[in-house]
Structure formats: structure tokens, C-alpha cells
Amino acid sequence: MVGPRTLAVQMGHIAPDWRPPHLIAMTSTHIASRDALPDHMRILLRDYPREAWPDHPNFARSIENWMGAHSMFRQLGELCRTETERFLDGDRDFPDYAARLGHYGHLLVANLHGHHTWEDRSYFPELLAADPRFGEGLEMLEGDHVELDRVLDGFTRSANSVIQLAQLDPGQVKDHAADVHAASETIEGFLERHLADEEDLVVPILLHHKMRG
């Protein structure tokens, strides 16, 4: 385990026209208001249901790897939450907790940021060119990524407060750890919705068009 470190990733990439969610009209496709991939975006999912993906001849190794990255993000989000719970419950001493939070938090933020930047710039344009029917769905996922930047920014600030405050004022650490816990729960909820919907939209396109094989 590495020693305590702050999360070095710069999270300043917020779109200039971004506004807090309470200031914009929530659409039915906004991540805060949907509970599944919207019906009209499930055209291909009906023909390629999730349970049939692993055995489909077009289910390429690259698709499996991309879904594996999603699993890693889910696990890292869970680790950030459970490690914070152990510290708050007195089952983890502070130096150990700070080292783990710095390590897992950095992996989560840096890799998620790189992953969704690559999706926006390279992967989604490729999918859109292959099947323009899914333009609205891909735009919805890009909107999720904008929200994700905000969520990760809040987590990074809370985690860095814990790590830095410990050197100055250990008495306040538990308050900030509670903020980290809340931010971790937000990330977990966000990832549960975003990653499931992203896979439900994208994998059927890849299978249908024999892409990434």
C-alpha cells in the first residue's frame, strides 16, 4: 500500500455552459430522473438482450475489456465507501485509511476521467457513424459524463480535505470523512445507473454492426 497522497487529478474540465441540475429543466433522460435506458433507445437491445451477449459470435475481447473497466470502477467506488465506513466505525486507524483512500480514490478519479474523455472524443463518434439512430442516446451518455465531472470534483475535494487536514487538525477528520462517505455513495449510485445504461445502449450496436472485433 502506498503512503497517504492527495488526489492529483485536475477536475477543472467543466463545460462552460454547465449549470447546477436544480437550475435546468430535468428531462426524462437526465441521469437524476431516469431508472433505466429509455424505451425508445432500446430498439436493438430487444434483439440483443444482455443475457445473450457473452455467447454471441460478435462479442469481441475488446467489448469484454471495456465492460471489465466498468466493473473495476464499480469496485473502486465501493472500496472508497467501505474503507471510509471502517475508519468511521473505528476498525481502521487513520494512517492506514488515508493511504487506502489516496490510493483507491486516485485510481477511481484518474481512470474514470480518462475513460469518459476517450468515450466522448473517440468511441461515441465511431458508434454514431455506424448507427445514427442512436445519436440521442449517445448525447444522453455525454450529458452523464458532464455530471460525472461534478460528482468526481466533489469527491476529490472531500478526500483531499481528509488527507490534508489530518496533518493539521486530526480532530476534524471524522467530519470530512463523513463527506467522503456521502460523496462515495453518490458516485456508486451514479455509476450504477450510467454504466448499466451505457452498456445496454452500446453493446447491441457493437454486436449488430460487428464492430471492435
Q: How far is the CB of 181 from Fe ion (least distance, A)?
A: 24
113 binds Fe ion (CB under 5 A): no
Q: Specify the stretch interacting with Fe ion by CB under 5 A; choose among 49-57, 168-176, 185-193, 195-203.
A: 195-203
Least distance between Fe ion and beta carbon 167 (Å)? 35
Contacts of the segment 113-119: beta carbons below 8 A, 24+ positions apart: 113/9, 113/11, 113/149, 113/152, 115/69, 115/73, 116/145, 116/148, 119/145
| CB hemisphere CA count around 57 (13 angstroms) | 1
When CB distances to Fe ion are compared, the closest residue is 116
Q: How far is the CB of 168 from Fe ion (least distance, A)?
A: 36
Count interface residues toward Fe ion (CB under 5 A): 3
How many CB atoms are closer than 10 A to CB 36?
11
Q: How many other C-beta atoms can be found within 10 angstroms of the C-beta atom of residue 187?
A: 25
Q: Least distance in Å: CB of 191 to Fe ion?
A: 9
Report which DSSP code applies to 53: T
Residues 115-144 that bind Fe ion (CB under 5 A): 116, 119
Site residues (vs Fe ion, CB under 5 A): 116, 119, 198
